[in-house]
Structure formats: C-alpha cells, structure tokens
Amino acid sequence: MPQLKPLTYLIEVARIGSIRKAAEALAITPSALNRRILALEEELGAPIFERLPRGVRLNTAGELLIHHIRTQASDMDRVRSQIADLAGVRRGHVAIACSQALLPYFLPRQIQQYRTDHPAVSFSVHLRDREAAERALVEHEADLALVFEPTRFADFHTILTVRQPVCAVMAADHPLAGQESVRLRECQQFPLALPLAPYGVRYLLDSSAARLGTRLEPLIQSDSFEFLVACGGAADIIAFQIPIGLPEQSPGRVSVPLDSRDVPPGLLYLGHLRDRTLPVAAARFADQLATTFVAAYDYN
C-alpha cells in the first residue's frame, strides 16, 4: 500500500534510533526521511521524536502513533488478504513466533499439511523465548504465537492450551530407560544436560527442584535443544525435552516422562494478540493447529 509506506518508515526510524541510519536501511536519503518526519509533526501539531545528540527517540505521542501505524498496517494486510481471498486467489502469509520445541518436527509437518490445501500461502517462523513471543505479537511481527509456559499474558489471547510433560531423554540402555515415569531424584543420580534459564523446560525443572528442597546441578548447559538431546543419547547423561519437540522414535534413545508429582506437566499455549482480527490465512492455520491438538494431543 503506497499511502502508508511513508508511515512505516517511522517504525524503522524508531527501531534504529537514527534518521540517517534508518534512511540508509530504507534506501532513501536522510533529507527526504527527515522531511517526512517534520511534515508529519507539523501536521499533527506536536513532535513525535525527541531529538538527542546522537539520534532520535520516540516520545509519548510517537509511541501512540507508532502503535496505531502498526495496527493499521496489519489491518490493511488483513483486508488485502480478504480481498485476494474472495478473488479466489487463496494467497496470504502467516507469521509465527514459537518456542524451540515446535521447530524440529511439529511446525514443519503442520506447514506441509497446510500447504496441500493452500499452496500459495507463505510462512515466516520466528524463534522467540516465552518472554519475546508476546512482544512479537504486540509489534505485529507475528500473527500467531505457540509458546511453552509463557511468562506474560497481558496482550495475549489464548486459543488453546496443550499439556506437555517434561521428559527425560537418555540412551536406550540407560538404567532408567525401562520405566513408565521417572522421579526427579532418580535423574539427579546422573549427569544432567539442561537448557538455559529463559526456556520453559528449565523454568519448570528449576522451580520444581526448589519446591522439593533441592537444586539441579547441570553438567552441560546450552541454548540448543538439538545439542542437549544429542547429549542425552551419549553415555549416562540425561537431557530434558517436551514430547512435541521429540521424534516419534530415535534409534538408541528413549524418553521417559517425569513423574507429575515432582514436575507438573507444562502448558503449550496457542494464541494471538488480544483484540486483533487475524488475517484469513493465519486464522485458518490456527484452526488447523487447534484441530491437530484436539485430535492428537492432551489439550484442555
């Protein structure tokens, strides 16, 4: 939409904090960009940016305006996709912010399945920890969020939650491998490979351990679940992951859920920005996810 291109320039300026730098990123001259800002401030009768020695920063009025521009831009996208939809084109885009566990198996399959019906719909998938996911929704960087144990819910509207017990991942010949479930105490007898603090799995494990009056002493810490789970197959090391992030079967490795008396099952949240009307494509994809969860997972 050409009319609101100049407005989206503001978003870039606000993000970068400098008119000159933003102009470079936007492939126009600083002069032109500066003039747009001045003209807009003139039009509004109030400044939008504070002028600092090393750049600019949004003031309160600017925050309001930027928020409105973001909303308006994605609303226009939605209208466009609706119009394209009734022209029979069935194109569109779905932007997703999600926790790591969805990346290796679940989302790729879901997207593949969706594409059989809607081949012209494109996707963007952003890895966001449980704090950054809501921010992505607020900034309209994502239409949908799929987050394990999110921290905030202020602007978050939950479509569906899915119960996901934390599982211990270990070699198939590990002493604990045969059990239906394992106690946290049993795991502590072995070297542990744990994700870092921002992850929901770590949060659940740490808080459960604290409640049981103990502490987890990880041998290995990493921000990569791929790495951690690979460790879980080596020697007697135990890693942790939720089922949706694990393959159905992997040779030489097994996963055993933690006893729910020690570590309660976490919740995976599917949701979008509160009070927002989703674009058709995103709404349909959310429907598909919800259907899948209802059919194949322990939802509530």
Binding site for DNA (CB under 7 A): 2, 6, 18-21, 28-32, 34-39, 51, 53-56
Provide the minimum distance between the beta carbon of 35 and a copy of itself in the complex, in angstroms, as a whole number.
Answer: 13
CA distances from 16 to 22, 28, 68, 244 (A): 6, 15, 19, 37
Nearer to a copy of itself, 80 or 126 (CB): 80
CA distances for 246 relative to 222, 228, 251, angstroms: 17, 12, 12
Residue linked to tokens 């226009």: 76
Q: Choose between 31 and 113: whose C-beta lies nearer to DNA.
A: 31
Q: Which does 86 bind (CB under 5 to 8 A by kind): a copy of itself, DNA, none?
A: a copy of itself
Q: How far is the CB of 51 from DNA (least distance, A)?
A: 5
CA 68 centroid distance within chain: 23
Which 3 state secondary structure label does DSSP give 170?
strand
Q: How far is the CB of 34 from DNA (least distance, A)?
A: 4
CB neighbour list of residue 129: distance below 8 Å, 6 or more residues apart: 99, 198, 199
Our CB check for a copy of itself shows the closer of 66 and 169 to be 66
From 215, 210, 242, select the one nearest 229 (Cα to Cα): 242
Q: Interhelix angle for 60-86 vs 280-296, to 10°? A: 80
Cβ-based burial of 237 (10 A; exposed 0-12, middle 13-18, buried ≥19): buried
By the rule CB under 8 A, 127 interacts with a copy of itself: no
Smallest distance, Å, CB 274 to a copy of itself?
12
* Cβ closest to a copy of itself, residue 50 vs residue 223: 50
Torsion sign over Cα 114, 230, 254, 191: negative
Q: Which amino acid is at 160?
A: L
For residues 215 and 192, the answer to whether their CB atoms sit within 8 Å is: no
Per-residue contact flags (x/-) with a copy of itself for residues 212 to 241, judged by CB under 8 A: ------------------------------
Three-state secondary-structure class, residue 229:
helix
Q: Shortest Cβ distance from residue 162 to a copy of itself (Å)? A: 29
138 binds a copy of itself (CB under 8 A): no
Residue 112 in contact with a copy of itself, rule: CB under 8 A: no
* 83 interface partner picked from DNA, a copy of itself, none, CB below 5 to 8 A per type: a copy of itself
Contact partner, 19, from a copy of itself, DNA, none, Cβ < 5-8 Å per class:
DNA
d(CA 122, CA 113): 13
- Give the x/- contact pattern for a copy of itself in 27-56, rule: CB under 8 A: ----------------xxxx----------
Q: Please choose which of a copy of itself, DNA, none residue 231 contacts, taking the beta carbon within 5 to 8 angstroms, the exact cut-off set by kind.
A: none
Binding residues (CB under 8 A) for a copy of itself: these are 1-4, 6-7, 43-46, 60-61, 64-65, 68, 71-72, 75-76, 79-80, 82-84, 86-87, 89, 275
